[in-house]
Amino acid sequence: MNPISVFIITKNEEDRIEKIILAVKKIANEIIVIDSGSSDKTREISESLGAKVIYNQWQGYGQQKIFGENQCKNNWILNIDADEELSPELSAEIEEIFSKNIDENIAGFKIKIVNKFRFENKPHKFAYYYNQFRLYRKDLAGFNNSTVHDSVYLKNKNIGKIINLKNIIYHQSFRDFKHWIDKINSYSSMQAIDAVQRKKSANYLKIFISPSVAFFKAYLVRRYFIYGLDGLIYSYLYAFSRFAKMIKIREQFKEKNN
């Protein structure tokens, strides 16, 4: 088995965690679930599949990911979220990479994260995707300490090469529209607190323009138009997430300065 540690942050993911763990078991010799207090069977299911479950109180995305890194025994780490799944092709690609000697100059690999919406077995052929640094050496890279941003960075920009992998991770961020709206509400509150801490505010122009810009970004740049009527709904929700963020920043800013 490959010397890769996989860690997954969770809370109440009993409906998704089994598929995720079974996918990564094929390529990693250690799987760790960092749980922030599930009240469902996330812990029991994870342990029954051979994963190590560790409780850590939620303090923020970056902080939770840093805690997860520190629990891993291997230098090579793959981080995936509970709403993501390795494609079979990506598993095979990673297996092939670790079957050979990896160049010492390589700090890690970026992976395409591709949107997969409800009722889809696989992402749409033209689905939007973004590259993220997910498979990495923890001696050369790691997560940043931020409550809302959870990206991996090189510890020294001059040391370590990052390679793009060909295959993908499926990303189904929302179970249904209720879950999507709940997530918007929760995440926009965290974003607002973070923004005010960084002395950012939301003025009239930002509140007026940001939702419209976000709508067209989702519909055209993120190619939500390929989903027909559903794509229109997705775009409105994406715009609403920006609107929620802006009005909460304004609210936080006024509270702090009154």
∠ CA 124-122-77, rounded to 5°: 110
**What was the pLDDT predicted at 151?**
86
* Mean pLDDT score of the chain: 93
Please report the DSSP string for 62-118 in residue order. Answer: HHHHHHHHHH-SSSEEEE--TTEEE-HHHHHHHHHHHTSPPPTTEEEEEEEEEE--T
The answer, yes or no, to whether residue 117 has pLDDT greater than 90, is: yes
Residue 72 corresponds to which tokens in the numbers above?
């891993």
- Please, which residues bridge with residue 114 across strands? 129, 170
Domains and CATH numbers, the chain: 4-171 (3.90.550.10), 177-257 (no CATH)
**What was the pLDDT predicted at 210?**
94
**What was the pLDDT predicted at 201?**
79
Residue 186 corresponds to which tokens in the numbers above?
């929760």
Residue 210 corresponds to which tokens in the numbers above?
């940001």
User: pLDDT tens digits for 29-85?
Assistant: 999 999 999 999 999 999 999 999 999 999 888 899 999 999 999 999 999 999 999
Closest residue by Cα to residue 28 from 58, 50, 47: 50
The answer, yes or no, to whether residue 211 has pLDDT greater than 70, is: yes
What is the pTM for the complete model shown? 0.86
**What was the pLDDT predicted at 149?**
67
